[in-house]
Amino acid sequence: MNSVVILANGDFPKHPTPLRILKEAASIICCDGAVNYLNEYGLKPSQIIGDMDSISKELKIKYEGRLIHIEEQNENDLRKALKWAENNGAKKAIILGATGKRDDHSLANIFTLLEFPSQLKMTIFTDHGKFSVVKGDQKFASFTGEQVSLFSVDQTIEITTTYLKYNLNSKKLTTLYFGSLNESINDIFTISISHGEILVYQVFK
Amino acid sequence: MNSVVILANGDFPKHPTPLRILKEAASIICCDGAVNYLNEYGLKPSQIIGDMDSISKELKIKYEGRLIHIEEQNENDLRKALKWAENNGAKKAIILGATGKRDDHSLANIFTLLEFPSQLKMTIFTDHGKFSVVKGDQKFASFTGEQVSLFSVDQTIEITTTYLKYNLNSKKLTTLYFGSLNESINDIFTISISHGEILVYQVFK
């Protein structure tokens, strides 16, 4: 299990990109009630992780052998799933269904990518674009006109970019909105950061 | 103009609470293209603020006297509208349509509440709940079982709460997800913070 797809319990994907990821996934870990939507869509979960308070009775019986019941007051079902995947050998997690519905859940899920202590390479695909984590120096596949936003919680991180419309040169992001609304001007762009991790968001074509 | 309603260009409200606010508003400031939806809904804007790149030609003519064209590369239309409202005497801004559509816009809009330098008392109402800003010691009207989340970007802020299921006692929020998933156990709850500002999110009944 090198790469896993985790379906969180926000809005079920509508956009072709996350739907394709879901359909092509070798294994899908569902966060609790998300399995209701997956089942309706005609796909099967490999595991269902959570405190099982929102999965239907019928599906509890149908997927009895795939239920992994984890009670942990401080963690939501997404972080339980990420921890379980890492403990079971995953190196990479693609997260779907992380946004929509409750805004506090969406925020907590997005910043889990950045702030949850894990060795997993994590990305979130929503119906509008994808969030990924930047460490050190990275090159991103892009296209001219691609809308790009950077988010840093740690205001001490210095960021340098190339091939963006508004490039940063050893610049710190002093607010969470300051790095938003940028744009790619090439088929790649690069981001180098002094230390730590930041989020990059790329809007789908 | 003590209190203004600002309609940002995310998803147009569907939930009765933000819709009631919109219908009862004495004046509505629209962020650029948001006026297309407002007009369709049968309401009129007081002002339309932005760089006017997403308002229809027809509405540009219809509301010619209400267009306030502001070009400013570093600010999005919501922050332009907030600045304009404050400069024109507003003390309080209720923001609708701040989420949905692009996730980077939603994030930037939510953290504008916390990080944008302004004297305005700002709240965001979405289709799921409301975000407001906490300063000093505050008491919140609530109900037993109300889902509550706290978000602090500044990790040095010490937070103390009463009447929440998981109360904080001079606790710092070390991640943006750590204060989420709390719950009210009374018809009020209180939050006291050592300095600065944090966000509180309350889910609608």
Tell me the chain A residues in contact with residue B153 when contact means C-beta distances shorter than 8 Å: 153, 176
Q: How many whole angstroms from its chain centre is CA B61?
A: 29
Q: List pLDDT tens digits, range A116-163.
A: 999 999 999 999 999 999 999 999 999 999 999 999 999 999 999 999
**ipTM of the predicted structure?**
0.95
Instruction: Determine which of A72, A83, A107 to mutate to test the interface with B (most B C-beta atoms within 10 Å).
Output: A107
The C-alpha of B198 sits at a distance from chain A's nearest C-alpha, in angstroms, of 13
Q: What is the pLDDT of residue B1?
A: 65
The CATH H-level superfamily of B133-203 is Thiamin pyrophosphokinase, thiamin-binding domain (2.60.120.320)
Q: State the pLDDT at residue A1.
A: 65
b/e code B42-61 from CB counts within 10 Å (16+ = b): eeebebbbbbbeebeeebee
Given pLDDT bands bounded at 50, 70 and 90, which one contains residue B53?
Answer: confident
Nearest-by-Cβ selection for A177 from B111, B131, B201: B111
Return mean pLDDT, chain B: 96
Residue B71 has pLDDT above 90, yes or no: no
By Cβ distance, the residue of A128, A166, A176 closest to B115 is A176
Beta bridge partners of A42: none
Does B104 contact A129 at a Cβ distance shorter than 8 Å?
A: yes
Domain parsing of chain A, residue ranges: 3-127, 132-203
Question: What is the dotted CATH code of the domain comprising A132-203?
Answer: 2.60.120.320
Q: What pLDDT, in 10s, does the model give residues A58-92? A: 999 999 999 999 988 778 999 999 999 999 999 99
Q: Classify residue A170 as exposed, middle or buried by CB count within 10 Å of its CB (0-12, 13-18, 19+).
A: exposed
Q: What is the DSSP letter of A65?
A: G
H helix runs in chain A, sequence order = 16-24, 34-40, 57-62, 77-87, 103-115
Say whether residue A54 is in contact with chain B using an 8 A CB cutoff. Answer: no
Kindly list the residues from chain B whose CB atom is less than 8 angstroms away from the CB atom of residue A128. Answer: 101-103
Number of A/B CB contacts below 8 angstroms equals: 107
Of A108, A110, A177, the CB nearest to B112: A177
The CATH class given to the B3-127 domain equals alpha beta
For residue B35, what are its two tokens?
């006026």
The Cα of B176 is separated from the nearest Cα of chain A by a number of Å equal to 6
B135-164 pLDDT per residue, tens:
999 999 999 999 999 999 999 999 999 999
CB contact under 8 A, A101 and B180: no
Chain A residues with CB inside 8 Å of B108's CB?
149, 176-177, 180-181
Q: Which of B75, B111, B118 is nearest to A166 (CA)?
A: B75
Q: How far lies A188's CA from each of A136, A196, B68, in Å? A: 17, 22, 36
| pLDDT reported for residue B51 | 87
